[in-house]
Amino acid sequence: MEAAIIIVFIVGYLAITLEHNIKIDKLIPALVMMAISWALISLGIDSFPQWFDSANHGLVDGYASLDHEHKMHLMEETLLHHLGKTAEILVFLLGAMTIVEIIDYFDGFSTIKSFIKTKKKTKILWIFAFLAFILSAIIDNLTATIVLISILQKIVKDRSVRIWFAGLIIIAANAGGAWSPIGDVTTTMLWIGDKVSTGHLIGYLLLPSFVCMAVPTLIASFLPAFKGDLEIQESDNDKPKSKFSSTMLFLGLAAIVSVPVFKVVTHLPPYVGMMLALGVVAVFAEIYSNSKFSLTTIDNQESADHAHHSPVHHSLSKIELPSILFFLGILMAVAALESLGILFGFANTLKETTPMLGTEIAGTNVSDLVVLLLGVGSAIIDNVPLVAASLGMFSEPIDDQLWHFIAYSAGTGGSMLIIGSAAGVVAMGMEKIDFFWYLKKIAWLALVGFLAGAVVFLFTRTLF
C-alpha cells in the first residue's frame, strides 16, 4: 500500500510540474492526490508497520500492536493535526491577499510610480530591483511582481525592453521574499511551523538575499539591453483613482509588517495577527469608500449593492482561490507521506549516506550540497512541496542553520527557470515571456546570484 501511495504522489507531482504541457491547472492533481493518498491510508491502515507522530517528531511506539480502532483514531487525530497546521498557513495567506487587494482597490500602488524620475535604463533597473526586493518582503514576491510589472507596462512602451526588466524583477522579488517571514509562501511555512524566528531569519538571510539580488542586477547593468535612455509613457490615466491612495498603501503595508511584532508580543499564531491587521485595514477602507456596513443579508438588494461598492467584498472576490486550494492539496498530500514515516526514513537515509559538507563549521545535520540541490530543484518543480517535505524530513530545532539555508535555497532557486516560481509564472503570463528566451537570457544571471548569495550565507552563518 505504501508503494501505491508513493506512485500516486509521483504521478500527481509530475502533473503539477507539467501543468503547462498537459493544460490542467495544478490545483486539480494536488487535490486529487491528497484525497486518494488519505483514502489509501484509511483503507490500508492495518498494513502499515509504523506511524509518525508529527506533534512529537517521532515514530509511535508499538504502533504495529495496536488494534484497528486505535489505528483509525490515531489517523483521524493526525489528519486533524495536519489540517489545523495547513489552515494556519491558508488563513494567513487569505488575510495578506485581501489586504493587498484592498490597497489595489484604492489604487494605492500608483504612488510607487512617483518614485521614478529618470529615463536612464540602468537607474530604472536599480530602482525596480530595490523596489522588488523591499516590496516582496512586505507584500510577498508574487504580489510585488504583479504590482511592479503593471507599473512597468505604464512606463516602458517597447515590450522587447520590458521583458528584460521583468526578468530582473523576478530575481529581485524572489530574493526579497526569502529573508522575510511574510515574503514567500515557503518562508511563511517555515515561520508558522516554528522552524525560524523573524529576528534570526532576517539576520541570517538579509545579506545573502541582497547579494542574490545585487550581483545579477550589477552584471545586467553592463548588458546592451540596459544601455541608453527609455521613452517614458505619460498619461493622465496614470493618476491615482482615489485621494486615499497613498494613505491606504502605507496603512496596508504597515498592517502587514505589524504581524510579526504581534506574534512576538502575544505568542499567538501569525494568522491571528493577520486577521487583526485585515480588520483594521477593512475599517478604514469602508470609511473611506463611504459604504454602509451590511451585517445582514435580510435585504438582498442592499447586500448586493454593498457587495458591488464595498472594497472589502470586492477584494475578497479577487483573491486567488485556486492558489489557496493548491496549497491545501499539496500540503495535505505531503502530510500523508510524513504520517507513514516515509519522509522520516528518507531523511535518516539521507543523513547516513550523504557527505556532511561544512558540518564542523556550521553545526548542521544535513549536507549543504543537498540544500543547494533543493534550490536547483525548486526551479524545476514547485518549491512548496519541497519545503513541505523538508518539514517532515528533519527535526532540527528552531533557528537551526539548516532551516535558514532551506529558506534561502527554496526561495531564490526558483528564479533560474521562469516556471520555477510564482513570480516567474505570473510575469510569464503578464508579458508573454518565452520559456527559452528566459532560459537563454536571464537564467544564468539568476544562477550567478543564487550561488553568490549561497556563498555569503555559508560564510556569515559562522558569525552567529
Domain ranges of the chain: 92-186+234-321
Query: Confidence class of residue 35 from pLDDT cuts 50, 70 and 90?
Result: very high
Query: Confidence class of residue 165 from pLDDT cuts 50, 70 and 90?
Result: very high
Residue 6 C-alpha cell reads as: 508513493
213-228: buried (b, 16+ CB within 10 Å) or exposed (e) per residue? Answer: bbbbbeebbeeebbee
Contact in structure between 172 and 445 (CB atoms under 8 Å): no
Contact in structure between 277 and 92 (CB atoms under 8 Å): no
Cα 373–Cα 206–Cα 225 angle in degrees, nearest 5 = 75
**pLDDT cut 70: percent of the chain above it:** 85
Least trusted range by pLDDT, from 52-66, 162-176, 231-245: 231-245
Does 359 score more than 60 pLDDT?
A: no
**3-class DSSP state for residue 249?**
helix
Does 206 score more than 90 pLDDT?
A: yes
Query: Confidence class of residue 317 from pLDDT cuts 50, 70 and 90?
Result: confident
Tally of CB atoms within 10 A around 444: 13
pTM of the entire predicted model: 0.71
Does 301 score more than 50 pLDDT?
A: no
Nearest to 113 by CA among 285, 245, 257: 245
Query: Confidence class of residue 279 from pLDDT cuts 50, 70 and 90?
Result: very high
Grid cell 504612488 is found at 111
Grid cell 489528519 is found at 79
Does 258 score more than 60 pLDDT?
A: yes
Query: Confidence class of residue 464 from pLDDT cuts 50, 70 and 90?
Result: low
Does 278 score more than 60 pLDDT?
A: yes
Contact in structure between 342 and 6 (CB atoms under 8 Å): yes
Would you state the pLDDT for residue 340?
Answer: 85
Query: Confidence class of residue 378 from pLDDT cuts 50, 70 and 90?
Result: confident
Would you state the pLDDT for residue 275?
Answer: 93
Does 121 score more than 70 pLDDT?
A: yes
Least trusted range by pLDDT, from 75-79, 242-246, 267-271: 242-246
Would you state the pLDDT for residue 292?
Answer: 46
Would you state the pLDDT for residue 352?
Answer: 64
Q: What is the mean pLDDT of residues 384-398?
A: 75
Would you state the pLDDT for residue 289?
Answer: 82
Contact in structure between 105 and 311 (CB atoms under 8 Å): yes
272 Cβ partners below 8 Å, 6+ apart?
262, 266
Tally of CB atoms within 10 A around 317: 11
Residue 100 C-alpha cell reads as: 493587498
How far, in Å, CA of 452 to CA of 446, rounded? 10
How far, in Å, CA of 206 to CA of 212, rounded? 10
* Mean pLDDT score across all residues of the chain: 81
DSSP tag of 295: -
Contact in structure between 377 and 413 (CB atoms under 8 Å): yes
Would you state the pLDDT for residue 360?
Answer: 42
Nearest to 389 by CA among 446, 350, 358, 447: 350
Would you state the pLDDT for residue 342?
Answer: 77
Helix (H) or strand (E) holding 58: strand 58-59
Residue 421 C-alpha cell reads as: 516560481
249 Cβ partners below 8 Å, 6+ apart?
103, 106, 108, 109, 111, 112
Q: What is the mean pLDDT of residues 308-334?
A: 81
Contact in structure between 48 and 340 (CB atoms under 8 Å): yes
Residue 163 C-alpha cell reads as: 521583458
Contact in structure between 95 and 271 (CB atoms under 8 Å): yes
Would you state the pLDDT for residue 394?
Answer: 74
pLDDT single digits (tens) 88-104: 888 888 888 888 888 88
Alpha helices in 54-184 (DSSP H): 68-105, 110-113, 121-139, 141-155, 159-178
Would you state the pLDDT for residue 59?
Answer: 77
Residue 347 C-alpha cell reads as: 531523511
Residue 365 C-alpha cell reads as: 545535520
Q: What is the mean pLDDT of residues 340-350?
A: 70
Query: Confidence class of residue 294 from pLDDT cuts 50, 70 and 90?
Result: very low
Does 211 score more than 50 pLDDT?
A: yes
Q: What is the mean pLDDT of residues 257-285?
A: 88
**pLDDT cut 90: percent of the chain above it:** 22
What is the gyration radius of the CA atoms in the chain, in angstroms? 23
Cα torsion 384, 257, 260, 336 to 10°: value is -20
Q: At 347, which amino acid appears?
A: A
Would you state the pLDDT for residue 304?
Answer: 47
Does 306 score more than 60 pLDDT?
A: no
Does 361 score more than 60 pLDDT?
A: no
Query: Confidence class of residue 382 from pLDDT cuts 50, 70 and 90?
Result: low
Q: What is the mean pLDDT of residues 32-59?
A: 84
How far, in Å, CA of 197 to CA of 184, rounded? 15
DSSP tag of 53: E
